[in-house]
Chain A
Amino acid sequence: DGGITQSPKYLFRKEGQNVTLSCEQNLNHDAMYWYRQDPGQGLRLIYYSQIVNDFQKGDIAEGYSVSREKKESFPLTVTSAQKNPTAFYLCASSIGDRTYEQYFGPGTRLTVT
């Protein structure tokens, strides 16, 4: 079955450490996205990529970095510069056409103490 996988489901880190969240898709989608979700809030876009080797900042990119070296993969690094990294992180992909929906992964819950 095609879909998006995120790993791990739960991640714990100490403050000051960088951490990388994995996102892989086998849907052959060109576009991929990272969102952050905090309790009671909607989705906030961190980064997105419309094609391999290219990506753009979203609304809250500070303290995060990404790479898109392969079509299937779009890892997100949460750096020590991110002031409040504890959150639920969602990866998504889409064909890249306004009539088509986004497909979401199951999410990674990151806790930094």
Chain B
Amino acid sequence: GDSVTQMEGPVTLSEEAFLTINCTYTATGYPSLFWYVQYPGEGLQLLLKATKADDKGSNKGFEATYRKETTSFHLEKGSVQVSDSAVYFCALETGGSYIPTFGRGTSLIVHP
């Protein structure tokens, strides 16, 4: 079946550091790929998405490129802020049943 693997957290960085959170997937068909962010005590919200190979999703300084050859969708940001502290979820959806597959989430902690 479909699966999403994210790097284990927590990821701890100083403000203005470069961020990478790795995400790889296995899927049948041609999935759409998503990154969601969850701030403490809240629901998830979409951060960015890419629906076909080589697409780059971007939002609020975050970027991720859909790499079909390496089945990856790594999240990056050039300079993190304390306000980016949250849990980040990678997800895919292949259609059919319209049930997305989520990774386990990666906690990011940014120190001043």
Contacts and interface: CB of A to CB of B under 8 A. Distances in A.
Interface of A: 4, 6, 31, 33, 41-43, 45, 48, 50, 58, 90, 92, 94, 96-99, 101-107, 109
Contact of B43 (A94, A96, A104): A104
B51 A42 contact: no
Contact of B32 (A33, A42, A99): A99
Interface stretch (B18-26, B61-69, B70-78, B95-103): B95-103
A4 B43 CA distance: 10
Interface string B23-66: 00000000110101000011111100101000000000000000
Interface size on B, as a range, is 20 to 34
A101 B41 CA distance: 21
A104 B91 CA distance: 14
Nearest to A94: B98
A41 B38 CA distance: 13
Contacts of A58: 99
B98 A97 contact: yes
Nearest to A43: B102
Contacts of B49: 99, 101
B94 interface: yes
B43 A45 contact: no
30 contacts: A6-B43, A31-B98, A42-B89, A42-B102, A42-B105, A43-B44, A45-B99, A50-B98, A58-B99, A92-B44, A94-B98, A97-B95, A98-B93, A98-B94, A98-B95, A98-B98, A99-B32, A99-B49, A101-B46, A102-B36, A102-B46, A102-B100, A103-B46, A104-B36, A104-B43, A104-B45, A105-B43, A107-B41, A107-B42, A109-B41
Which 4 pairs, one residue from A and one from B, show the smallest C-beta to C-beta distance? Answer: A98-B95, A104-B43, A42-B104, A101-B46
